[in-house]
Amino acid sequence: MKDRQPVYVRGLGAYLPEKILTNADLEKIVDTSDEWITSRTGIKERRIAADDQYTSDLSAEAAKRALADGGLAAGDVDAIIVATVTPDMPFPSTAAFVQKKIGAHTCPCMGIEAGCSGVPYGCELASALLRQGPYRNILAISADKLTAITDWQDRLTCVLFGDGAAAFLLTCDAEGARGEILDIYIANDSSGVDALYLPGGGSRAPATEETVRNRLHFLKMNGQEVYKEAVKSMGQAVATILERNNLVPDQIKFFSPHQANLRIIDAMARQINVPLERFLTVLQWTGNNSSPSVGIALDDAVRAGRLQHGDLVVLVSFGAGLTSGTVLLRWIG
């Protein structure tokens, strides 16, 4: 990365829907309890998008906030990338809907399917486009309306998920930058593709009465396998990016992990021998909102004034596929 043209974060934005679903609310829907959910996940509440609020709406709100944070207008955007597993529809791209909703000009719009690793995957693609030109400002958005594909009859999974979006306004111009991306690492281990998936709705199982009756249009997850692979993959991703940049964990101010489960975060912290206090966590009140979670946690820390000039931050994700990825960021302020 050191020999490449630098890429900077000019603006950062996050959006969470207004509606809150608490553990007490879930007790009225399925056979569960606040104690059971909290002890196993660390989640107390999650944000739920309205019925008429789609992934593109969540994305557009986060994008507007990133543009405002970076002091740019929608017309300054040269490309829009949206990473999501819950697109508004199979086509056109959700990014095209975002372009229309924020009033951007006819710039390229594209989507990424990287599960919960949308932030590192999106930042990697945006960085490559910025370096090759002629792009100057790119919105890399991660957003999901996971509650749209959540099986509310499945007590083991419905307690986990929420909705939200995060947007990074990336540029090659150092002027006005909030942070600098020092390195990005992304990977995929396809041996675990059956650990977390949505069986219905694609070309393999298009919608029929039978697929609906069999509840194939809701996500399926092998919880134990996901837990094991998440801890292993995110630990390996962190070790890789630190080694590539001649860093040790003590030099990192904060780690912003995928907000899936507090036990996963705790296990990863112990694996790399870093105190849990240095891991940014917001899942207590956001739930697992998939691809945007690491960006939402970073945005929360920035708004709270927890980052200072020169601080190093590692964003680390894990998702369906099985994808994983890290972003090494130096905060500027």
Q: What angle do CA 182, 305, 184 make, to 5 degrees?
A: 15
| Catalytic hit among 109, 116, 123, 158 | 116
Tokens of 143: 């957003």
Active site residue 217: no
The 3-state DSSP composition of the chain as helix, strand, coil percent (nearest 5) reads 35, 25, 40
Q: Are 265 and 286 in contact (CB under 8 A)?
A: no
Give the type of residue at 105. Answer: H
Q: β-strand 109-112 against 79-83: which pairing, if any?
A: parallel
Give the type of residue at 81. Answer: I
Task: Count the neighbouring beta carbons within 10 Å of the beta carbon of residue 3.
Answer: 4
Active site residue 246: no
d(CA 323, CA 58) in angstroms, rounded, equals 23
Do you know the residue count of the chain? 333
In a 13 Å sphere around the CA of 231, the CA atoms on its Cβ side amount to 17
Active site residue 261: no
Nearest Cα to Cα of residue 189 among 320, 316, 315: 320
| Catalytic hit among 109, 258, 261, 289 | 258
| Segment holding 100, helix H or strand E | helix 94-102
Q: Where are the alpha helices (DSSP H) in 198-289?
A: 209-213, 223-244, 262-271, 283-286
| Catalytic hit among 23, 261, 288, 289 | 288
Active site residue ranges: 116, 258, 288
